[in-house]
Amino acid sequence: MEMVHRTEQDKSDLIARYIEQDPHRPGRYNARLTSYGVAVWAFAAHAQSYSVCSDRESPKCTGYVLCMPEHHR
């Protein structure tokens, strides 16, 4: 998997595109995903329960996919 290096401007553009302030709950801690309205903190917490699996020997994890942690046991 190739690593992508982004400039600060690229990062700012991505944030502006995918993250917005919640109009009903002002403050940067209440930012949400633009398309879904899900709080960024909730998305991040959910994403931490997954890991990138690259164990090609495992029948449940082939290639680079998101897998639940118990698939690595």
Domain coordinates of the chain in residue numbers?
A: 8-72
**Residue 69 CB neighbours (<10 A):** 11
b/e map 1-38, b = 16+ CB within 10 Å: eeeeeeeeeeeeeeeeeeeeeeeeeeeeeebbeeeeee
39 closest CA partner among 47, 29, 48: 29
Residues in the chain with pLDDT < 50? 62-65, 71-73
- The answer to whether the beta carbons of residues 71 and 59 sit under 8 Å apart is no
Task: Give residue 43's pLDDT.
Answer: 87
Task: Give residue 72's pLDDT.
Answer: 44
pLDDT tens, residue by residue, 2-13: 667 788 888 899
Q: What is the pTM for the complete model shown?
A: 0.55
